[in-house]
Structure formats: structure tokens, C-alpha cells
Structure 1
Amino acid sequence: MSDRSPRAAAWRVRPSAAKITSSPISSWAASAPSKPRRAGSLSEEPPPADATVTAGAAPTADPRQILWRNNALQILSTVAWYVVAPFIPLYLAVQGAPAGVIGAIIGFSGVVPLLIALHAGALVDERGPALVTQAAVILYAVGGVMLTALHAVWPAATAYALMGIANIGWAVASQSVVAAASTPATRVRNYGYYSLWNSAGAIVGPVLGGFVIGHFGYRTAFALVWVLMIPSLPIAGRLPGASAAPRRPLSLAMAPRLVQTILRERGVGAVLFISFIVVCAQTLQQTFYPLYLNTVGLSPTLIGIVIAAISLGSMVVRSLLSRGVDRFGYAALLNGATALLAVTLGITPLLRQFWPLVAVSALMGASLGFTQPLTMSLMVESVAAELCGVALGIRQGVQRLGAILSPMVFGVVTTAFRIEWAFFLGCAALLGAVPIIASVTGHLGAPQRPGHTPLPVPTSAPGASSRSD
């Protein structure tokens, strides 16, 4: 693959006495903290470590700086999303949309993201995360402008759909950055810190959105989306411009043909099932929880605080994620988190006071705080390094399928019965899935197969305890 820009050489993990040669992409491949080569891998052997530096080669980049920029983008984008997302159902209800229509709008907004998820992952593998992230920033800004300027149901639905498309780019690009900048030994910790920053943004966003809506109205709150994208664009431009894969990047046209290869990898099916069932419950919470809180008489400001408690619970457990995996293992954490999520959904309709709702929201967030980063890490662990973008795109596609089906199904239940029954049904579905998850997670996080010994962790490795990734 030919050089596209000087930035293509900029993202390299600091090598240890290794010199760089060849193209920017292959030179970064020589020094990136890549996974050992897997059987059936489509990549070529990396260039020799004793090669010489080409004239004009860009200086090496500290992976900590890359992770800092990536995490800074996460908090900005997550604040922008949560300023809007928890209040879109309320906004649509104010515009006169019934619960069934609101569920359909939320569900259909995931159709295009579902269709492009795989190709978004392949684009990250081929062109790098900078391009994809910049496109996501622009789509967020356009969606924010539409929500600010156009006050009706269908323009709001269109803007929400654009932001949903952008979320695919945010997710796949940022998760690929973490995967490429991590060793097997630091991956869980780095994904934990990455998710921690997401949770921080998800705490600030709904509180800020609820306060602004309560005092200044929806238009001012929605304007915060495009305002937050102003600093995001230059930060996105400083992400890696070369392929995030530490070996030869794959062609975008190859992406559909790689799906079966990835699905046959051990553990991928289990990760996708868990991702699907959890995102169905999470979408139920995101779509109908604000409506339920409104029915019990909470103000937009208090609704924002209750929603923020979910993210606070996630943030607390994600700071302990690596220790939890070391002590309990992947399977126990995933099973326990799914059961806890089911219980919190089941008791939510029984609560009508502010503080009990805050408490159950924190527990709900704790369960989600384990499942999301663990499935990210397991997906990356299950595939070859150069397939990470496509694999994460598949995971995003499965999640978008759940995000489409969940609000439609629960919207029908809410329309036919009451909103409380949507939560009861979600609880029953999760409890039914727990035995299935237990049966498919026994091997997850098991010791690597022969020839897959994790790389040693240097003292300056990203994700060290001295920094917040």
C-alpha cells in the first residue's frame, strides 16, 4: 500500500533499539505491540528489526499520547451524545409522537449503522482511524445543527440517525486504536480506562443536558453537540493516519469475504451473543427509561441526574476491571453482570422515588460497566491483529441489530400494555439468556494456545497504573 501523507508514518510505538525502514505502514508494523501471528492469518511477516531508518522518516510517537488523544475524543463525543440521546424520546413526545412511533424512530435510526458497520471497520483497517473519526465528528456536527435549527419529529429523527451513523465511526476507530496500542497483557486494562473515559462523558452529558433543557430549552442543549465538535476535529486529525493494523492492511473490498473467517474463530460467537443481548437491554434503558422517569413526575434536571448515575456506576467498576478479571475471570464477570442487569430492569417499575431510582441506576450502570469493555477485549483477543477493525465492525453490526429490534419490540409492548411491562419483559429475556451465556463462556479468557504467548510488558507500557488511559 502506498504512502498517502506524512502523517501515515507518525503513529509508531517507541521501538527498543529497532530501526525503521520501508514504507510508513510497514515501519510502524515493525514496532507496534502486535499480537503473535495466528494460524490462518492473512498478514505478511513484519520487516526485520535491524533495518535502517529511511531519510525523512517521521519521529516515533509515544502510544500514551495516542491513547490520551483517543480518550479525550471519547469524553467529548460521549458528552455530546448524552446531551441529546436521553432526551430525544422526551423531545419527540413533546412534539406529539406516541410511544410506538418513538420506539420505531429509535429502532430505524440503527438501520444504516447496521449496514455500514462492517465496512467502517474495514475502512479503519485500510485507511486508519483518523479519517473515520473526522467523518464522525462532521456527522455529529451536522446532526447537532439540524436539531438546533429544525424543530419537528422527522428532522429530529434524521439528525438522530446521522449521529447513530457517526457512532459506528467513533466506536470502531477508537477501539482499534486501543487494540493496536496494547499488548495482550495490557489490553483489558486499556479497554477499562477507555471505557472509564466514556463513562465520565456519560456522567457529564445527561446532567448538563437536563440542566440546560430545564433552564434554557431543547434548542440550547442541542447546540452543545456542534459546539463540542469544534475542538474534536483537530484532535481527530492527530490520530494515526496509517492503518491501525500492525501488519499489512486489508483491502476494503475484502471485508465481506472475511466475515466467515472471523465468525469461525473460537469465542467470537459467544462474544457476539453477549453483545447482542446486553445491547437490547441497554437500548430498552436508553429509550424508555427517560419516559418512565417522566411518568413518575421527575423534572428534566432530575432525569439527567438519574441517567448520570448509570454512567457513574459504570465508571466505578471500570476502574477495577483489570483486577476483577484477574480475580474472577471473564466468564464469572459476564454472567454476574448480565444477571445484575436483569434484576435492575425488573425492579425499576416498582420504584417511583428519586433516590431509589438513583441507586438502581447505579447498579444498572455497574452491570454495563463490565460487559462492554470485556466483550471489546475478547473480540480483539479472538482474531488476528490485521482483522481487528473488521471484527469490531461485526460486533458493532450485531449491536446495531439489537438497537433496531429492541425499541421496536418494547415499543409495541408499551403501546399495547404499559411502559412498566417493557421492563418486566426485558428482565425475563435477560434471565433466560443467563444460562445460555454461562454455557458459552466457559472457555473465554482461557490461556492462549501454543505459540500465542503474550508479549512482555515494558515499564513504559500504555495502561500503566501511573496514567489514566
Structure 2
Amino acid sequence: MSRTELLRLVFAQIFLHATMTGLRLAAPLLALSKGYSAGAVGALIALFALSQIFLAIPAGKYADHHGVRRPMGFAVLAAAVALVLATAFPTIPVLCLGAMLTGAAAGITVIVLQRHIGRAATSNAQRKQFFSWLAIAPAISNFIGPFGAGLIIDHAGQASGDLLAYRICFAVLAVLPLLTWLLVMRVRELPFEPYDPKAAPTHAWDLLKSANFRYILFVNWLQSASWDIHSFLVPILGYERGLSASTIGTILGAFALAAALIRMALPVIAARYSEKRVIAASCIITVGVFAIYPMVSHAAEMVVCAIVLGASLGCVQPMVMSLLTQVTPAHRQGEALGIRLMFINASSFLMPMVAGSFGALIGVGAVFWVVASIVAVGTPVVGKIQLRDNEMPPEKNL
């Protein structure tokens, strides 16, 4: 894969993912302006992840049988239709539908593009670099989507009224999936297994028979849960410390910025260190930061903790993608990525509720220490992952 084609895929994901993140900002704001409760808004936001839980594995299988362009065509169509409907009918039921459609489109895009670049790589080192570059896309889109949507709503609202401002925002967001399609339609397809209706059906859960596959999913869950719990608990901890909303926002912003910046440096890191070393180091740093967090009280100290944790957790996803590609047969990598995405979204949906329940029982600070203990106990699993450089394990090992 040439550098030009890789950059084309990075920007394709940026545009599609920014469609979802922009709507994820605008839809709750519109719901609040219509008088809906915080609970209703929370349910609306949950719909962005809910559709990915159920569609991840089918999307992965579909990508295995149809390559890049066909599944990406459905993702682009779903996102564009969602925003066109929101533009024409900016009502809460339509926004709920839009949340599920754009969430599904973003999930399909992640699976399809990760599968494609993983198979396009010719060595483990190149695979790590490809995944490192692709990991920059969500970091960028998580900024430009909400930031752009917010600017449009604020400035268009001053000139034309609030509801029209939201319509303009949705219309602009509807253009982004079309840009994604213009980039993806030029991608060179790699060989894939055509769908044979007479073939015996495969079951995605068969992949869990591989010990390596289970270890990688578990390690990925440790890191993802740490990310989700940090994002959920820091506002509560900051409130208990008497910090202002803007200060708490600064702490979370520092975490996101560190995660984005480290991903820009990952191609260099990936060229020097193995996936297992990077993930193990991330686990150790995560344990240390979670152990320290409840003991700091000043905003500056919390910002430092957030920066260190963001840089640590930001390294993990590309390394996990590289490992999954190595332990999965080439014609089932879409299924493997679908299983991973399903687990991650299910965790993102459940962990804030679990952490909140424990926080009410034992205190927010104690939850940080519980998470640190869990990650510490789970870290040795990284060493159990067994790989063979530049060699794909045969399917019979699964």
C-alpha cells in the first residue's frame, strides 16, 4: 500500500467519524433546548454505541466476503441518510434514528478500514505503522466533529434562529460521508473470499477458541475500561474537590490531547518496540496513575495525571489491531475485528453504570484503586500472548 492510499483511508475515516461525533454533540444540545431531561439525553447518547454492539460481527463477516467498497457504500449511505433526515425533520425520534445509523456507519468504517490495512501490510513492522497512522483519524475527528458542529450552531444561530442553525449544522455534516465515498471508491481491493451460499456457515465465536485471541481481547478490555472509567469518574472526583466545570473540562481535554499526540508519534514508537512491550508498559503506567489519582487534590496535579494516562492509553489500540491481525486467519479478520468492537462498545455502555454503582458504595477514590488492582492483576496476561513474526497462524489452531 502506498503512502498516498494510506492517507486516503485516514481521511476517509476522519470524515465519516466526524459525521458521527458532530451529531453526537448537536443532537443532545437540540434535545436539551427542547426541554428534555438529562436522563433522556443520556439515553440518546447511548444509542450511538448500541447499534455497534449488535452490528459489529455481521459487519465484519460482510467485509470478509465483500472487501472494502461495498460495506463502505452502506456505511456512507446510512450516515448520509441519517443527516438528511435530521435536516428535514429535526425531531427527537429522527435524532434517535440518526444516532443509531451514524453509530453503525462509524463502526462499519472502523472494521472495514482496519481489516483492509492489516491485510495490505507486508510485515509486522509495516502493520504496526499502518495501524498507528489510522489511529490518528479518530483523535482528529473527535476534535473537528464537535468543534465544527458547535461553531456552526453558535454562529448560524445568531443570524437565523436556533432550529435553522441546527438544520444548517446537519446539512453540513451530511456532506462529510460523501467525501468519504470519493476517497474510498479509489481504493484498490485486495483479494477476499466471495460469499458462497452453499458453504457451511462459520461462527464468529469459534475464534474465541484461540487462547491468543482471548488474551488480546482481555488486555484490550483492560485498557478500554480504564479509558471509560477515567472519563466517567474524573468529573465526579473534580466536583468533590471543588473544581469548576471549566477546570474539569481542561483535565479531560488534556487527556484527549495527550492521546491524540501520542498517536501521531506512534509510527516512530512502533518501529522500535514490539506490540507486547508497548501494551505492557501502558498497563504498568495505568496502574500507577490510577493509584495516585485519588491522592491528588490540585487541578494542576490532576492535569499531569490525565496527560500521562492519555499518552499511555493512546498507544494501545494500534498495537492490539496488529496483534489481532497476526493471530487471525486472513479471511476471518473482519469477524475478529467485529468481536473486538462489540466487546469494546458493550464495555463502554456498561462500565460507567458499574463504576457509578461502586462509587456510591465505596467512594470514587476507592474505585480508582479497584481499577488499578484489576489492571495490575491482568497485566501478566500480556506475556502469555505467543506470536510468530511475519507468519499467520493456520486456521486449524483456532
TM-score range, shorter chain: 0.7 to 0.9
Q: What amino acid does structure 2 have at the position aligned with 1:439?
A: P
CA shift at 1:384, angstroms? 1.4
Q: What amino acid does structure 2 have at the position aligned with 1:432?
A: S
**Residues 1-150 of structure 1 aligned to structure 2 (within 5 Å):** 63-85=2-24, 92-150=31-89
Q: What does residue 460 of structure 1 align with?
A: none
Post-superposition Cα deviations, 1:416-454, rounded to whole Å, max 9, x if no partner, equal 79xx94x864x34531331343121103364449897xx
CA shift at 1:195, angstroms? 0.9
Q: What amino acid does structure 1 have at the position aligned with 2:174?
A: W
CA shift at 1:183, angstroms? 1.6
Structure 1: distance between partners of 2:328 and 2:137: 25
Structure 2: distance between partners of 1:150 and 1:268: 44
Is residue 140–residue 225 contact of structure 1 (8 Å, CA) maintained in 2? no
Structure 2: distance between partners of 1:269 and 1:345: 27
Residues 110/316 of structure 1: CA separation in 2 closer, same or farther (3 Å cut): closer
Q: What does residue 226 of structure 1 align with?
A: 174
Q: What does residue 433 of structure 1 align with?
A: 374
Q: Give the counterpart of 1:238 among 171, 186, 191.
A: 186
Is 1:177–2:116 an aligned residue pair? yes
Q: What does residue 298 of structure 1 align with?
A: 246
Q: What does residue 209 of structure 1 align with?
A: 149
Question: What SS does the aligned partner of 1:257 have?
Answer: coil
Structure 1: distance between partners of 2:286 and 2:66: 37
Q: Percent of aligned positions with the same letter in both sequences?
A: 22
Question: What SS does the aligned partner of 1:312 have?
Answer: helix
Q: What does residue 18 of structure 1 align with?
A: none
Q: Give the counterpart of 1:312 among 257, 264, 271.
A: 257
Q: What does residue 400 of structure 1 align with?
A: 345
Q: What amino acid does structure 2 have at the position aligned with 1:110?
A: A
Post-superposition Cα deviations, 1:3-59, rounded to whole Å, max 9, x if no partner, equal xxxxxxxxxxxxxxxxxxxxxxxxxxxxxxxxxxxxxxxxxxxxxxxxxxxxxxxxx
Residues 150/362 of structure 1: CA separation in 2 closer, same or farther (3 Å cut): farther
Question: What SS does the aligned partner of 1:392 have?
Answer: helix
Structure 1: distance between partners of 2:19 and 2:298: 28
Structure 2: distance between partners of 1:376 and 1:324: 15
Q: What does residue 138 of structure 2 align with?
A: 198
Post-superposition Cα deviations, 1:388-433, rounded to whole Å, max 9, x if no partner, equal 111111111212221332344456679x79xx94x864x3453133
Structure 2: distance between partners of 1:250 and 1:206: 38
Post-superposition Cα deviations, 1:37-90, rounded to whole Å, max 9, x if no partner, equal xxxxxxxxxxxxxxxxxxxxxxxxx64443232112022123333333356555
Post-superposition Cα deviations, 1:350-391, rounded to whole Å, max 9, x if no partner, equal 7796x7776555444323321111111111111111111111
Is residue 119–residue 255 contact of structure 1 (8 Å, CA) maintained in 2? no
CA shift at 1:264, angstroms? 2.1
What's the Cα RMSD here? 4.0
Q: What does residue 7 of structure 1 align with?
A: none
Q: Point out the more displaced range, 155-164 or 89-98.
A: 89-98
Q: Give the counterpart of 1:272 among 197, 209, 217.
A: 217
User: What TM-score results when the alignment is normalised by the length of structure 1?
Assistant: 0.67
Is residue 202–residue 308 contact of structure 1 (8 Å, CA) maintained in 2? no
Residues 96/277 of structure 1: CA separation in 2 closer, same or farther (3 Å cut): farther
Residues 98/239 of structure 1: CA separation in 2 closer, same or farther (3 Å cut): same
Is 1:382–2:321 an aligned residue pair? no
Question: What SS does the aligned partner of 1:368 have?
Answer: helix
Q: Point out the more displaced range, 278-287 or 316-325.
A: 278-287
Structure 2 stretches of 5 or more lacking a match? 158-164, 394-398
Is 1:366–2:311 an aligned residue pair? yes
Is 1:442–2:396 an aligned residue pair? no
Q: Point out the more displaced range, 135-144 or 325-334.
A: 325-334
Residues 399/247 of structure 1: CA separation in 2 closer, same or farther (3 Å cut): same
CA shift at 1:181, angstroms? 1.2
Post-superposition Cα deviations, 1:135-172, rounded to whole Å, max 9, x if no partner, equal 11222223333444545544333321211111221111
Residues 248/80 of structure 1: CA separation in 2 closer, same or farther (3 Å cut): closer
Residues 447/257 of structure 1: CA separation in 2 closer, same or farther (3 Å cut): closer
Is residue 86–residue 287 contact of structure 1 (8 Å, CA) maintained in 2? no
Structure 2: distance between partners of 1:97 and 1:413: 28
Structure 2: distance between partners of 1:397 and 1:439: 24
Structure 1: distance between partners of 2:198 and 2:235: 41
Is residue 335–residue 437 contact of structure 1 (8 Å, CA) maintained in 2? no
Structure 2: distance between partners of 1:349 and 1:205: 35
Residues 393/451 of structure 1: CA separation in 2 closer, same or farther (3 Å cut): closer
Structure 2: distance between partners of 1:193 and 1:138: 25
Is residue 313–residue 365 contact of structure 1 (8 Å, CA) maintained in 2? yes
Structure 1: distance between partners of 2:55 and 2:121: 26
CA shift at 1:191, angstroms? 0.5
Question: What SS does the aligned partner of 1:441 have?
Answer: helix
Aligned length: 380
Q: What amino acid does structure 1 have at the position aligned with 2:60?
A: G
Residues 406/109 of structure 1: CA separation in 2 closer, same or farther (3 Å cut): farther
Structure 1: distance between partners of 2:92 and 2:235: 17
Q: Which has the higher helix share?
A: 2
Question: What SS does the aligned partner of 2:20 have?
Answer: helix
